[in-house]
């Protein structure tokens, strides 16, 4: 157990630090690609015959594999687009209290969405045993819809928070927000929710068809990471300002000529 905790802590530290030092596109590609790989493996798993006695990831009942395979295809295409497309970066906004409020709203909404949705995903034993299966299915479906909506809105807030910067450090908030997001493994939340809906310790399995819908929350998460990575100015040509700082050649009135005149 201690070894697993240390490995998870090390992975969190590496992913968060990679964003902070500027490996934005590379880290985003790895995170989104990992989710795509997991979706592909789940799709392949559900193509296999039902086997409740399997020691590793048993399948208790038939589950359609196409939602997971489709999500793997979409996420894989988003990874390709991340490296192939060149999108005009969003304008840099001066860092202000507004960006900090966006960050708090994004992180708070992200976590609150998970805990609120779990009320409908995992009801108390008394309610689960007394309610009819159709009503339980609608409650789980409502919790999943709430989860998708909350995650999407939270990602919008996080993206708005990442747009804060300055002429000298245009990626300041972007690196911080992405590093914080990766350090706390928030990109893995869609996979965690999917696993819990597939393998509940109480009832062994809860509505596996809705688990595929919950995994679709990886799309707004990937969209946030990719859009923020496109806005990164690491790939822009830079010029030294004479004091050891790299300044973008074109950024809100700053240019290489300005850097030369400041020397």
Does the residue 256 lie in any domain? no
Classify residue 3 as left (phi > 0), alpha (psi -120 to 50) or beta.
alpha
Does the residue 151 lie in any domain? yes
What string of pLDDT tens digits covers the 263 residues of the chain?
A: 677 778 878 888 888 899 999 899 999 999 999 999 999 999 998 888 877 666 667 776 777 889 999 999 999 999 999 999 888 877 888 999 999 999 999 999 999 999 999 888 877 767 666 767 777 778 888 999 999 999 999 999 999 999 998 888 888 999 999 999 999 999 999 998 988 888 765 544 456 678 888 999 999 999 999 999 999 876 444 444 444 444 444 444 444 444 444 44
Rounded distance, CA 160 to CA 44, Å? 37
Does the residue 229 lie in any domain? yes
Does the residue 246 lie in any domain? no
Long-range contacts of residues 80-83, Cβ cutoff 8 Å, at least 24 apart: 81/226, 82/25, 82/28, 82/29, 82/32, 82/226, 82/229, 82/230, 83/25, 83/29
Assigned token pair, 169: 């450090």
Rounded distance, CA 238 to CA 115, Å? 44
- Total domains present in the chain: 1
State which residues form the domain around 15: 2-234
């Amino acid at each position: 157990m201690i070894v697993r905790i240390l490995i998870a802590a090390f992975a969190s530290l590496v992913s968060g630090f990679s964003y902070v030092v500027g490996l934005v596109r590379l880290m985003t590609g790895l995170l989104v690609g990992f989710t795509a790989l997991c979706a592909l493996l789940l799709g392949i798993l559900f193509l296999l015959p039902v086997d409740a006695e399997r020691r590793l990831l048993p399948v208790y009942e038939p589950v359609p594999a196409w939602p997971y395979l489709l999500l793997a295809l979409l996420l894989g295409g988003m990874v390709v687009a991340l490296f192939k497309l060149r999108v005009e970066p969003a304008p840099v906004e001066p860092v202000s209290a507004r960006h900090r409020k966006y960050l708090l709203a994004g992180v708070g909404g992200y976590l609150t969405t998970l805990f609120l949705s779990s009320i409908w995903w995992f009801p108390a034993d008394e309610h689960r045993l007394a309610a009819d299966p159709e009503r339980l299915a609608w409650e789980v479906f409502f919790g999943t819809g709430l989860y998708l909506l909350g995650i999407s809105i939270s990602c919008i807030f996080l993206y708005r928070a990442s747009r804060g910067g300055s002429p000298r450090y245009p990626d300041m908030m972007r690196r911080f927000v992405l590093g914080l997001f990766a350090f706390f493994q928030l990109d893995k939340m869609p996979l965690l929710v999917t696993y819990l809906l597939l393998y509940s310790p109480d009832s062994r399995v809860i509505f596996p068809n809705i688990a595929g819908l919950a995994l679709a929350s990886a799309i707004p998460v990937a969209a946030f990471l990719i859009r923020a990575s496109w806005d990164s100015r690491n790939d822009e040509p830079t010029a030294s300002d004479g004091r050891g700082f790299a300044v973008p050649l074109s950024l809100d009135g700053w240019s290489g000529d300005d850097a030369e005149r400041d020397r």
